[in-house]
Amino acid sequence: MQNSGNTIRTRAAPSPTGFMHVGNARTFLFEYLFAKSVGGEFHLRIEDTDQKRYVEGAEQVVYDTFNFLGLKWDGEVIKQSSRLSIYKDYARKLVEQGNAYFCFCSEERLSQLREEQEKNHQPTGYDRKCRDLHADEVLEKIKNGESHVIRLKMPETGKIVLSDMIRGEIEFDLSLVDDQVLLKADGFPTYHLAVVVDDHMTGITHVIRGDEWVSSIPKHIYLYQCFGWEPTKYGHLSVILGSDKKKKLSKRDGAVSVEAFRTQGYLVEAIINYIALLGWNPGTEREFFTLAELEKEFNIKRVQKSPAMFDMEKFNHFNAHYIHEMNDVELLKKIKPFSEIDFSKYANEFLQKVISVVKTRMVTLKDFDVYSHFFFTWQPPKKDMIKFAKSDWQNTILGFEKAIEKLENLDDWNTIEKLNEVLLSVVTENGLKNGDVFWPIRASLSAESASPSPTELLWVLGKELSLNRLKKCLVIIK
């Protein structure tokens, strides 16, 4: 997958963990949008070299989540675990060049060293014990089968300056950088070696990633220098803070993975739109964007370096917006997996009416049942619920009987306006108040203290079902 031309090429490089944190999803989205906004390519690489973090089925979750988000990648997926010999060769090349060295220090020694450094309030890091081992000694140890890693021999002096696409110029003092392990004892590369080799070999021109990688910049740039390759351009995204505005968004803040949001009934349109605004803004007041619109509007120059905040309320507002915007047939399809109601038992026309009155109240797809169950199953309410608090039984019964009478004679149930007119006429013709008529009808039809308006209920339920329920309630209150 060489990059022969001047094509701008980004990549998403997820480590398969079995879920996609919102922060990672935002990084992938920005890599995707950056590529699309400049007519470039977006690639996918599975970074699965950490055997300790292996999770069964996690790779599939990556593909499923990318597909769900609609982030289509170009070309073949690169899988690091199938490229081990490549990394090994490059690590050895660095040793041959004198840029890296074999290190035989045991895990025990390293953790002891760390403990001591911590105790003495020193910066933690490798003490470079093996850095200057004599070549013969190294050969001898390898021959004896001593477990070893390969470490990068960082220069002891000098600086590296990087012009970050988001953070501007960042300077690093090389004397402060640890001798990073590049190849582990199990023959697997660390992230640092694999990322540089793969980004170079697959012609990646721009890397956008989380700011937890800022401290790795000097190691990566130095690796590029050792290999004689031109480094990619970098943009490091700020953290996403949780609702306390202090700590990084995490499990503490509830479900924060794309998969969790999906199973809680959030729409992909809302997820994409909301996370796009976590650190990017269009420079206008506009807040709603589809993925296709973002592809055109996105501009890396408008990505902020200050932290973004994940505001659940705002996210809900976006989800509600997309639920309200969606056409009823489409929405019904999306609701199906979240509903306990067997839609096949009901006429489409009825279901669409239900949707049209319920959807403005829904925040997630799961809310459908909460706000609509009384259209499908109904038990008469308790007598007291039928009377409006400020009304009395005499007016309630009068309004109820008159309304039933009028509704029985009404043939045009096609519009909510018409039904509203009928109920209003019962109020005026009998010298009643709205609460004497509207409340009892609404409470009777839904058997809930809060529900859509009585006219919406009448319209959805239709003449037969509505009158059936009302008459049963009349028996209760009389």
Residues with active-site annotation: 251
Question: In angstroms, what is the minimal distance from the CB of 216 to ligand GLU?
Answer: 8
CA gap 279, 300 in Å, rounded = 10
Question: In angstroms, what is the minimal distance from the CB of 207 to ligand GLU?
Answer: 6
CA gap 288, 305 in Å, rounded = 22
Nearer to ligand GLU among residue 49 and residue 364 (C-beta): 49
Residues whose CB falls within 8 Å of the CB of residue 254, separated by 6 or more in sequence, listed in order: 312
How many residues bind ligand GLU (CB under 6 A)? The answer is: 8
Question: In angstroms, what is the minimal distance from the CB of 264 to ligand GLU?
Answer: 23
Question: In angstroms, what is the minimal distance from the CB of 14 to ligand GLU?
Answer: 5
Question: In angstroms, what is the minimal distance from the CB of 28 to ligand GLU?
Answer: 9
Nearer to ligand GLU among residue 47 and residue 179 (C-beta): 47
DSSP 82: G
**Using the rule CB under 6 A, which residue among 78, 149, 160, 195 binds ligand GLU?**
195
DSSP string, 211-240: GGGGGGHHHHHHHHHHHT-PPPEEEEEPPE
Nearer to ligand GLU among residue 223 and residue 362 (C-beta): 223
Judged by CB under 6 A, which stretch of 10-18, 61-69, 262-270, 339-347 contacts ligand GLU? 10-18
Instruction: Please report which residue ranges of 55-185 form alpha helices under DSSP H.
Output: 58-69, 84-97, 107-119, 135-143
Q: Are strands 206-210 and 233-237 parallel, antiparallel or unpaired?
A: parallel
CB atoms within 10 A of CB 399: 26
Give residues 202-221 in contact with ligand GLU (rule: CB under 6 A): 207, 209, 213
Question: In angstroms, what is the minimal distance from the CB of 6 to ligand GLU?
Answer: 22
Interaction of residue 47 with ligand GLU, rule CB under 6 A: yes
3-state SS, one letter per residue, for 98-133: CCEEEECCCHHHHHHHHHHHHHCCCCCCCCCCCCCC
Nearer to ligand GLU among residue 234 and residue 280 (C-beta): 234
CA gap 191, 147 in Å, rounded = 20
CA gap 469, 378 in Å, rounded = 9
Find residue 181's DSSP bridge partners: 151
Nearer to ligand GLU among residue 11 and residue 359 (C-beta): 11
Judged by CB under 6 A, which stretch of 8-16, 73-81, 435-443, 468-476 contacts ligand GLU? 8-16
Give residues 12-31 in contact with ligand GLU (rule: CB under 6 A): 13-15
Residues that bind ligand GLU (CB under 6 A): 13-15, 47, 195, 207, 209, 213
